[in-house]
Amino acid sequence: MFELLKTLTEIPGMIGHEDLVHDYVEEQWHPYCQDISRTSVGNLVRRVGVVDQSCWLLLMLMR
């Protein structure tokens, strides 16, 4: 966990310029999800599948 937090905090991502952080997280999520998209305000949305007729989402909010 420490290494993950260290990696994430070392990626440059000032407010309004989080593209490098988005790119890193998207690359890490890619093998584990069915769909990744970015909202118009820059949030990442990950669809991980359907469980018991429900669609599960993971959101990454950048602020």
Please write the tens of the pLDDT for every residue from 39-62. Answer: 887 778 877 766 665 555 555 555
Whole-prediction pTM: 0.67
Domain that residue 49 falls in: 2-60
- Look at the chain and report how many structural domains it folds into: 1
What average pLDDT score do residues 23-41 get?
A: 83
Rounded CA-CA distance 44/60 in Å is: 5
Computed over every residue of the chain, the mean pLDDT equals: 78
36: number of Cβ within 10 Å: 19
Please list the helix, strand and coil fractions of the chain in percent, rounded to the nearest 5, in that order.
Answer: 35, 30, 35
